[in-house]
Structure 1
Amino acid sequence: MKMTTLWAALATVVAMPATAHEVWIERDASGPARIYLGEPGDVVPAAGDPEFHHLQKPQLVGVEGPAAPLVRRANHIAVAVAGRGDIRVRDDAVFAPWKSGEAWQGAIYYARAGRTEPSHALDLELVPVAAGSDRVTLLFRGQPLPGAKLTVITPDRWQKAFVTDATGRIDLPQQGRGRYIVGATHTEDKPATLGGQAVASVMHVSTLSFVR
């Protein structure tokens, strides 16, 4: 391999975000929400995931009233949210767009904590069919996504992949008490602009977390 080709390949690898990384929210009762960036299947390091510094200003979605200030901690961002309803965030600036082959690609991250509301407010969202239901629907801009791959992480960090049915739904496993995190990714092959960069496609990455 020529050196120019090698350096081009290395630059592409460096520019690409860690695809295993996700944004997720943890909240206990009505306490502050904790927003993380990392790999939810692993224990979050006390000093934060190596990529945590990329999470700067996640935007709260669907919260009434003035937005509470984001407080940066060692391994998460804390935000006080009134009430016990579901919490949602969106961030389209976690990783800068990267070159995928000959085209540019970008990513938008979404996260939701709680399953009390059978409604959606994010472009890509896992929505319970009823309050507290173990049956959820993966929606992209309000439309079900059939045949989509989801990953479920249980409180004991057991992980399994599921595929949504013809209606975009799966039944979540019941593997004991504690926090569950469900992740989904959907790539939209449509031009967009992220971070001032024109991209040919957008990777939408979304999580749902809840405590059973």
Structure 2
Amino acid sequence: MIERILPDGVAAAEVFDDPPGVVLFPEEEAHVARAVAKRRAEFTAGRHCARTALAALGFPPVAIPPGEAGSPTWPAGVVGSITHCAGYRAAAVSTDVLSVGIDAEPDLPLPAGVLGTISLAEERETLAGLGEPAGGPHWDRLLFSAKESVYKAWFPLARRWLDFTEALIRIDRDGSFSATLLVPGPRIGGRPLTGFRGRWLADGGLLTTSVTVHR
């Protein structure tokens, strides 16, 4: 599913339930030793997906402990992203691009009050113009997912937090979206990063989004 919105050169793996028998590396185990069962299952399945995706690039099994701000610590020369939600876990990795961010969410409305805290007025106006087609996608949840993917692509490049209101997202019906940064971005190839392009997919009761920054 997630591979349908990722470009060539990005390997992905996904599962729709938690595979049994997955063993964590000691460095990973230390981060979830006291976690509740739900968090442990998400973390473990996410690492399983990450190692499966890395294997597609020719990498042996390695530990992928959380690093700065909780982001995964990848092998040298690799960029990647991990996501999980109810009934879905996935990872995407690459040695060909500068950064990649993915996110998955249930295709359901956001809880009451959340949209106002994670969006800009212009974004809410755009969502209202899209309407609510029967059977989804739920645009408010898709906006949230797009912002999550943007942040995951941003952080390895900028190494600092990006607030929900610091990037303006525009969702298009054709399965694409754009993000315009409202704060200064890092310089990429001698030029300041000013925004991102992404893709989205609604299928099987899930929403998935991706952002890739090419060299």
TM-score (norm 1): 0.33
TM-score (norm 2): 0.33
**Per residue, is there more strand in 1 or in 2?**
1
